[in-house]
Amino acid sequence: MSEKDLKNVESQQRPAVSVGYVEEETRPKRPWWYSVTEAGSAIQIIIAAALGIAIGLAVTTSVDEVPDAAVAIVGIPGVLWLRALKAVVLPLIVCAMILAIQRLREMSRGGGVLARWTIGYYVLTTLCAVIISIIMVSQVWDGLMTEAGADSLAVAEEDEEEFSEREDVEVHDVVVQMFESLIPANIVDALASDSLLAVLISSIVVGYLIRGPDSPILRATKEVERIITVIITFLIKIAPIGVFFLIVSNLFRLRIEDIGRNLGVLIGGTLSTMAIHLFIVVPLIYTIVLRKNPYVYWFRNAPAWLTAWGSASSAATLPVTLKCARARGIPNLVAKFACPLGALINMDGTAIYFPVVVVFMAVTQGIWLNAADYVIICLLATLASIGTTPIPSSSLVLTVMIAGSVNVPVTGMYAVVVTIDWFLDRFRTALNVSGDLYAAAVVAKITGIQDPDNMDGEVEEVEVHANNSDRV
């Protein structure tokens, strides 16, 4: 056989590599029980979540009322773990964005392409989420809701002042606050007050202005990122403990006997629409672009969305999200740009929630919305979901604003929404984090961006424990 023939055989035996999307890292085969015993594995987190749900529901259904002291004490380990995660979010965002922008500057056109596709993808999926929510609630769920009695619609005296303050929020106020949140008046205050969107924009500016790889600021940023990586690795190892206590303590607050028909429809409508978006719409986009099984990809990222469910915070889950993205073979350049940005503006779960709640408040008062009202809800829900993070009181304030825009008054049923919001918020967050990970994979494939060779030494040193679910 000639030398040319040998080269042809070798080239045929080499595995194909997809452009811009690194295949998941191959690992030596381990015993089936390894994923159960390794600290912080996906299987451990799933087991912890299942145990937490089982114990929480068992206690809630077997006693009349769980004492507040018991709820607070049981929740201590979970709260401490969550506080530790939140503590590393700001430095993680700053380091990730500075380093990502620096590396993108080294590319000819990669930075602009990545930004356009990432933002475009997030806006597209948010619009899809709002439209699906409006279709479902107008064609299915509003027919199952019933008009509430006068006693249920009455507003308690202690809530009147708070509700009236939220009614005073105008549409233009939300728009102004959203744009003002992009530019901090005081960068130190923005860091101290966790104004994440302002911090992200500032980090992008700093990353763009740093000149050359020999900059002391750049070297310091890389060292801080290394330290954060060590901290995050430890927090992921103890994630099953944190998730377990977070779920147990929060389910202790659930009062199943208080869930009436209307509230049941509100919960069912919200969760079912989220399920359509999570298991049909977004996976369809993933399948079209990557030609892979989206459900395998989603399940392998279980540590991220389970942590999101337990913490109810996309920002607090960001360290775990980045770890999962790296484990799935997504280039660091894409993951460290798309995931932090998605944690702040990708709120598909919130976009689904707004139309359902507004229609719930309308139907329980005997108000039926028309096509024009639904168009207004669509536009405002899209805008409000993007602006949710930087606005105080988050979705609760924005719900009142959207309801007022279609002439739906705030009544006692709003108190019902407030009561159950904490529970639905966990599912919204899990959906948002899942969307961030899908977005990173899709954008990486479309843009064809790969990590430069000089990043090999900078890739995170610690392996992601979520890889243990690769055999599932």
pLDDT value for 178: 64
pLDDT value for 175: 65
pLDDT in tens, 258-291: 556 677 788 888 999 999 999 999 999 999 999 9
Task: Give exposure, 275-289, as e/b (b: 16+ Cβ within 10 Å).
Answer: ebbbeebbbebbeeb
Q: How far apart are the C-alpha atoms of 270 and 116, rounded to whole Å?
A: 30
Output DSSP code: residue 255. -
pLDDT value for 13: 43
Single out the residue of 218, 221, 219 nearest to residue 229, CA to CA: 221
33-471 under CATH 1.10.3860.10, yes or no: yes
Round the CA-based radius of gyration of the chain to a whole number and report it. Answer: 23
Cβ–Cβ < 8 Å for 334, 312: no
pLDDT value for 280: 95
Q: CB atoms < 10 A from the CB of 384, how many?
A: 27
pLDDT in tens, 291-320: 999 999 999 998 899 888 877 778 788 888
pLDDT value for 16: 38
Task: Give exposure, 410-444, as e/b (b: 16+ Cβ within 10 Å).
Answer: bbbbbbbbeebbebbbbbbbbbbbbbbbbbbbbbb
What does each C-alpha distance from 160 to 139, 167, 393 come to in angstroms?
A: 33, 10, 17
pLDDT value for 28: 55
pLDDT value for 148: 55
pTM of the model: 0.67
Q: Give the residue ranges of the chain where pLDDT is below 70.
A: 1-36, 41-42, 103-111, 146-175, 177-178, 196, 253-261, 386-397, 411-413, 415-416, 418-419, 452-472
Cβ–Cβ < 8 Å for 71, 246: no
Q: How far apart are the C-alpha atoms of 320 and 272, rounded to whole Å?
A: 26
Give me the residue label for tokens 């770890």.
323
Return all residues near 302 (Cβ < 8 A) that are at least 6 apart: 42, 45, 46, 466, 469
